């Protein structure tokens, strides 16, 4: 039962099994949830959900990757969902802002500039989750710099 719950959570209710770019699909799903619903959450509650999402993601991706005997299975997309969620923190829900967040987050998650790639080498679910947390932080920094300078 624990393995099944870990698989469901790590794959974001099965989104991870999408045949093309499952991480991108999971990220875009979070963008849509934010655009229409999640932007209304007050920031402490929004951030508390992220903390819960992150630590349960570490656990579920550890169990799921162990079950598949792969370091970072492509089906595990909880990391992309949690990272995109964090990248949207406190953003205006306009299409421009949420799509900018989506594009930057996917860019940093795919290109993995320093130290994002290094974070991947951490053990188990920590490496799976932390590289996306760093991609989200890079995204948030760039977006907020843009907002400051415009």
Summarised one tens digit per residue, pLDDT across range 7-23 is 999 999 999 999 999 99
pTM, entire model: 0.95
Using CA atoms, how far apart are residues 72 and 44, in angstroms rounded to an integer?
A: 30
Tell me the percentage of the chain whose pLDDT exceeds 70.
Answer: 100
> Does 35 score more than 90 pLDDT?
yes
Among the listed residues 122, 96, 98, 95, the one whose alpha carbon sits nearest the alpha carbon of residue 31: 98
Q: What is the 3-state secondary structure (H, E, C) of 21-90?
A: CHHHHHHHHHHHHHHHCHHHCCHHHHHHHHHHHHHHHHHHHHHHHHHHCCCCCCCCCHHHHHHHHHHCCC
Average pLDDT over residues 23-34: 98
Cis omega (within 30 of 0) for bond into 10: no
């Amino acid at each position: 039962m624990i393995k099944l719950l870990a698989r469901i959570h790590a794959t974001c209710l099965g989104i991870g099994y999408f045949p093309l770019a499952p991480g991108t699909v999971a990220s875009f799903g979070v963008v849509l949830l934010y655009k229409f619903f999640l932007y209304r959450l007050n920031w402490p509650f929004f951030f508390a959900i992220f903390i819960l999402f992150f630590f349960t993601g570490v656990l579920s991706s550890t169990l799921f990757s162990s079950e598949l005997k792969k370091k970072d299975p492509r089906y595990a997309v909880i990391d992309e969902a949690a990272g995109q969620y964090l990248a949207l923190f406190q953003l205006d829900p306009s299409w421009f802002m949420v799509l900018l967040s989506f594009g930057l987050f996917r860019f940093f998650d795919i290109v993995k500039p320093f130290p994002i790639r290094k974070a991947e080498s951490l053990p188990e679910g920590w490496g799976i989750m932390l590289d996306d947390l760093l991609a989200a932080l890079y995204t948030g920094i760039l977006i907020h710099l843009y907002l400051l300078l415009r």
